[in-house]
Amino acid sequence: MSITGLGPHGERAVPAGQVTLSDADAEAARQRRFSVAIALHTTTSDWSREELAGMVMTLGRYGAAVVEVVDCGFDADRQVAALLRLAAEPVDAVVSIPIGSNRVSEAHRAISAAGKKLVLLDNAPTGMLPGADYVSVVSTDNFGLGEIGAELLSPHVPHGGTVGILAYGIDFFATHEREIAFRKWVNAHRPDLTLVRGKFPDVSQAGATTAELLASHPEISGMFAVWDVPAIAAVAAIRSAGRTIPVTTVDLGGEVAAELAKGGLVKGIAAQLPFDQGIAAGVATILGLLGREPPPWIALPGLPVTSDNVVQSHQLVWRAAAPPELIRARKLRGS
Amino acid sequence: MNRGDRANGADAARAVEPGSGRGRPGAAAQTSLTTLLNLVRTGAATTRQELERQSELGRAVVTDRLATLIRLGLVEEGELGQAIGGRAPRHVRFRTGAGTILAATIGHSSLAVGISDLSGRLLAEHHEAVDLAAGPDPVIERLSSLFTWMREEHGTETGVWGVGLAAPGPVHKPDDDRLFAPVLSAFQNWDGFPFVEALAQRTGAPVWVRSGVQTMTMGEFRSGSGIGVEDMIFVKLGRSIGAGVISEGRLHRGAQGAAGLIGYTAIDGESLEGIAGSEAIAREARQAAESGRSPYLAGVLARSGEVTVTDAGHGAQLGDGFCIELLARAGRAVGEALAPLANLLNPSLIVLGGSVAQTGDILLAAVREAVYRQSHPLVTRDLRIVRSQMSGSAGLVGAAQVVVEALFEPKFLQGWIALGSPREHPETRDFLTRAAEAVKRQPQRPRPPGQVVA
């Protein structure tokens, strides 16, 4: 697993495993008893829970108290309000996953303008700069995730086929990178394929967008959804249309994993390791608070998941035994 | 030409008619339109009263020209301002969304693309690795498809007004002001390939090309530490070392466009690049890792199998004696090369960018010490020496800014303002015709491997 993407400003990735604290820094952090707030797009997804767990554990290990976790409910305005409030509160650092780009950049700047350290997950709003506006972006290699999505889909799409990309209609660096990389891989390795796209404005529209895409391009013979929740909506829409179309996506959510394991429409998943990403974000936050200037782009490679390794991947990603349906499917395949 | 441009173009003669006689706009009308647009665009004047005062044009002329600019879609009326005895003035503002600018940078191992409005502010950027050895065709293809994607995501209906391109190494400057497509001499074996022309043809817009360090300088000047500064030097410390000079608010390019190649400066018998370039530093760092002179770097080499300039920076921050001395030596060499420039140009700001500059404060301190030691006290009295905060975005921002400056340069602006869009400028059309011819003439032959020099 390698990191193929560059950072939001062209930075070479520093692998998360190489960003560490010395014993002296760890002790210095414990003495200073920092306080940290975390603002996530949601706290209810599996990804968020694991990300949060990694962060909270790491910050606790180095004596930092997590004094607030904000659930922004995918709402940029709510995030703006939360950040502006946190800028005036006695926290030393804020870890945030920006919801969108330009709409939330000023509110994020308010954190650093107030003298607090800002660590970003996944995404730096356009115009925000490392050092001046934030400490680090900690992210999975989203470019690599898109490439994995394309590579896993390719064997299931016939020569000369048409592939639909189910893209996110919000200006979001992480999903853009996945789409750009997916397209690049297809252009380079499967120039015979035609790419078409449907954009859903919010995740509740993903099914309808898929249905429209299928109606306007009935020749579609493969689909890539930029993350798992819209992928599941796409699977339902494909079934409703009475079609059988292979799908790949990003993130090893429970439903896509089950679909993959049972040999359903989902043929491959590019998984993230949110717990590990949370650990890296925690370490970067402590380094930033100590004035250690961690790398501006800290990244983790994506994990290719197929029906062959879905059980083991589940264990790796979610740090738990796979649910019974995954185990059963594995037994049925005799793997 | 898209619909918006055509509508504007057709409207042009009628639009300028009231102030310029019948038919074609007069030179005086074009001059006053240019003056007023640039006052509004730069924010120097945002009400009719301010425009009258600053342009020294009469009220009737200002009213007439503003109406024209509004009809052409270049200016729009905004909110009411503060009333100072009488009616509140209505603000006017430049329509930054009237056109789109595309920007691209090509480096030794990566490329980047961005899209901006007419203020030069990036709406989005994307960076990725590139293999230049595959030749120019895949690079053109890649830039085109990324531009297409970005325009679908962020573009306006008004079309692309210009493309800014940053190339590694110096870019030849023409003898006159005409739009022209330079040969990208930094790419060995791309000779004869009309890269700039092909990019112009793909985007349907003129392309302005500068060296990477010059666009980084422009980016830093307009959007980074250089905001509000008139005289500055930007130094890119990477695999190659180069400087960009802003003098009295303008980018200095030199007679051939090659100003700033300070990497060739000899310091103690060695080239500056040979001491402070990222490859030279990485080479020494690796030797120290292998010999065990640096325990920190030896650990890095054992863990990852390679040692980079970034590792040397981390080592220095963690107190590794070898890394500290390595970067201090590099910083002193850079400072010694910069001191004569500081004495010559008297800048108020020196910005250090590139991977070597990002290694931390030890290099920065050594640069400062050497510059201060060897410069006249008056030169260094208010001189700031800082690290760039713009990372790899400086070049993209600067490439967009190069286009903005070129589009609204008064002489060029006069050529299109009455037509509503630079796409209608006779020079633009001529440039695109020549570009199409050059692409057509392009020899159909396999592309030899491309290597980058400088």
Q: What is the pLDDT of residue B268?
A: 86
Residues B394-412 have pLDDT tens digits of 999 999 999 999 999 999 9
Q: A126: which chain B residues are within 8 Å (Cβ-Cβ)?
A: 122-125
Q: What is the pLDDT of residue B6?
A: 39
Q: Are B201 and B436 in contact (CB under 8 A)?
A: yes
Does residue A332 surpass a pLDDT of 90? no
Q: What is the pLDDT of residue B396?
A: 95
CA–CA separation, B65 and B43 (whole Å): 17
Looking up residue B277, the CATH number of its domain turns out to be 3.30.420.40
A147 in reach of chain B (CB within 8 A):
no
Q: What is the pLDDT of residue B318?
A: 79
Does residue B16 surpass a pLDDT of 50? no
Distances (CA, A) of A131 to A136, A293, A295, B354, B358: 8, 8, 10, 14, 10
B264 in reach of chain A (CB within 8 A):
no
CA nearest A170 in B: which residue?
A: B153
Taking an 8 Å cut-off on Cβ atoms, the answer to whether B387 and A7 are in contact is no
Q: Are A294 and A104 in contact (CB under 8 A)?
A: no
Q: Are A282 and A54 in contact (CB under 8 A)?
A: yes
Average per-residue pLDDT for chain A: 94
Q: Which two tokens stand for residue B297?
A: 């770097």
CA nearest A100 in B: which residue?
A: B124
Distances (CA, A) of A225 to A145, A153, A236, A326, B216: 11, 11, 13, 22, 36
Residues B33-88 have pLDDT tens digits of 999 999 999 989 988 889 999 998 999 999 999 999 999 899 998 877 776 667 77
CA nearest B121 in A: which residue?
A: A127
Amino acid type, B311? D
Q: A295: which chain B residues are within 8 Å (Cβ-Cβ)?
A: 310
Q: Where are the alpha helices (DSSP H) in chain A?
A: 23-32, 46-61, 76-87, 102-113, 142-153, 173-189, 206-216, 228-240, 254-261, 274-289, 310-318, 324-333
B359 in reach of chain A (CB within 8 A):
no
Mean pLDDT value across residues B437-454: 60
A262 in reach of chain B (CB within 8 A):
no
Q: What is the pLDDT of residue B8?
A: 42
CA nearest B317 in A: which residue?
A: A292
A126 in reach of chain B (CB within 8 A):
yes
CA nearest A20 in B: which residue?
A: B314
Does residue A331 surpass a pLDDT of 80? no
Taking an 8 Å cut-off on Cβ atoms, the answer to whether A6 and B127 are in contact is yes
Looking up residue B76, the CATH number of its domain turns out to be 1.10.10.10
Mean pLDDT value across residues B265-284: 94
B235 and B346 belong to one structural domain: yes
CA–CA separation, B58 and B63 (whole Å): 9
Would you tell me the crossing angle of helices A254-261 and A228-240 to the nearest 10 degrees? Answer: 50
Q: Which two tokens stand for residue B63?
A: 């009213």
B384 and B271 belong to one structural domain: yes
B385 and B399 belong to one structural domain: no
- Best A118, A126, A172 residue to mutate vs chain B (most B CBs within 10 Å): A126
Q: How confident is the model at residue B116 (pLDDT cuts 50, 70, 90)?
A: very high
Rounded to a whole number of angstroms, the distance from the CA of B401 to the nearest CA of chain A is 14
- Best A2, A3, A4, A6 residue to mutate vs chain B (most B CBs within 10 Å): A6
Does residue B1 surpass a pLDDT of 60? no
CA–CA separation, B313 and B317 (whole Å): 6
Q: What is the pLDDT of residue B319?
A: 86
Taking an 8 Å cut-off on Cβ atoms, the answer to whether B121 and A127 are in contact is yes
- Which of B336, B368, B389 terminates a domain? The answer is B389
Q: Which two tokens stand for residue B114?
A: 């961005």
B103 and B83 belong to one structural domain: no
CA–CA separation, B210 and B236 (whole Å): 14
Q: B360: which chain A residues are within 8 Å (Cβ-Cβ)?
A: 293
Q: Which two tokens stand for residue A164?
A: 């639909």
Q: Are B366 and B328 in contact (CB under 8 A)?
A: yes
B151 in reach of chain A (CB within 8 A):
no
Does residue B92 surpass a pLDDT of 50? yes
Strand boundaries in A16-159, DSSP class E: 35-40, 65-71, 93-96, 117-121, 136-140
- Which of B61, B94, B127 terminates a domain? The answer is B94
CA–CA separation, B13 and A2 (whole Å): 59
Taking an 8 Å cut-off on Cβ atoms, the answer to whether B390 and A129 are in contact is yes
Domain that holds residue B27: 3-94
Mean pLDDT value across residues A58-85: 96
CA proximity to B71, closest of B418, B452, B422 = B418
B393 in reach of chain A (CB within 8 A):
yes
Q: How confident is the model at residue B2 (pLDDT cuts 50, 70, 90)?
A: very low
Q: A12: which chain B residues are within 8 Å (Cβ-Cβ)?
A: 310
Q: How confident is the model at residue B90 (pLDDT cuts 50, 70, 90)?
A: confident
Q: Are A146 and A178 in contact (CB under 8 A)?
A: yes
CA–CA separation, A16 and B340 (whole Å): 42
Rounded to a whole number of angstroms, the distance from the CA of A200 to the nearest CA of chain B is 13
Mean pLDDT value across residues A261-280: 96
- Best B127, B145, B363 residue to mutate vs chain A (most A CBs within 10 Å): B127
B29 and B85 belong to one structural domain: yes
Beta partners for residue A71, in sequence order: A40
Q: How confident is the model at residue A46 (pLDDT cuts 50, 70, 90)?
A: confident
Q: Are A300 and A16 in contact (CB under 8 A)?
A: yes
Q: Where are the alpha helices (DSSP H) in B155-209?
A: 195-203
Q: Domain A143-272+304-333 falls in which CATH fold?
A: Rossmann fold (3.40.50)
Of A11, A184, A187, Cβ closest to residue B391: A11
Count of the separate structural domains present in chain B: 3
B131 in reach of chain A (CB within 8 A):
no
A203 in reach of chain B (CB within 8 A):
no
Residues A137-181 have pLDDT tens digits of 999 999 999 999 999 999 999 999 999 999 998 888 899 999 999
Same fold, A14-140+273-300 and A143-272+304-333: yes
B437 and B377 belong to one structural domain: no
Does residue A77 surpass a pLDDT of 70? yes
Does residue B168 surpass a pLDDT of 80? yes
B211: part of which helix (H) or strand (E)? strand B207-211
In chain A, where the domains are located: 14-140+273-300, 143-272+304-333
CATH: 1.20.1630.10, 2.40.100.10, 2.70.98.30, 3.40.50.2300. Which one for A14-140+273-300? 3.40.50.2300
Average per-residue pLDDT for chain B: 87
Q: Are B226 and B246 in contact (CB under 8 A)?
A: yes
Mean pLDDT value across residues A120-130: 88
Q: Are A252 and A315 in contact (CB under 8 A)?
A: no
Does residue B307 surpass a pLDDT of 70? yes
Amino acid type, A141? D
A18 in reach of chain B (CB within 8 A):
yes
Of A22, A127, A143, Cβ closest to residue B318: A22
A168 in reach of chain B (CB within 8 A):
no
CA–CA separation, B39 and B47 (whole Å): 10
A20 in reach of chain B (CB within 8 A):
no
B438 and B423 belong to one structural domain: yes
- Best A3, A4, A12 residue to mutate vs chain B (most B CBs within 10 Å): A12
Q: A139: which chain B residues are within 8 Å (Cβ-Cβ)?
A: none
B245 in reach of chain A (CB within 8 A):
no
B88 and B104 belong to one structural domain: no
Q: B141: which chain A residues are within 8 Å (Cβ-Cβ)?
A: 187
Q: How confident is the model at residue B14 (pLDDT cuts 50, 70, 90)?
A: very low
Q: What is the pLDDT of residue A150?
A: 98
Helix %, strand %, coil % of chain A (to 5): 45, 20, 35
Q: How confident is the model at residue B297 (pLDDT cuts 50, 70, 90)?
A: very high
CA–CA separation, B402 and B251 (whole Å): 9
Beta partners for residue B114, in sequence order: B103, B125
Strand boundaries in B342-441, DSSP class E: 349-353, 384-387
Taking an 8 Å cut-off on Cβ atoms, the answer to whether A126 and B317 are in contact is no
B316 and B339 belong to one structural domain: yes
Of B129, B149, B389, Cβ closest to residue A6: B129
Q: What is the pLDDT of residue B29?
A: 83
Rounded to a whole number of angstroms, the distance from the CA of A258 to the nearest CA of chain B is 33
Q: How confident is the model at residue B180 (pLDDT cuts 50, 70, 90)?
A: confident
Q: Which two tokens stand for residue B29?
A: 């009308």
A292 in reach of chain B (CB within 8 A):
yes
A136 in reach of chain B (CB within 8 A):
no
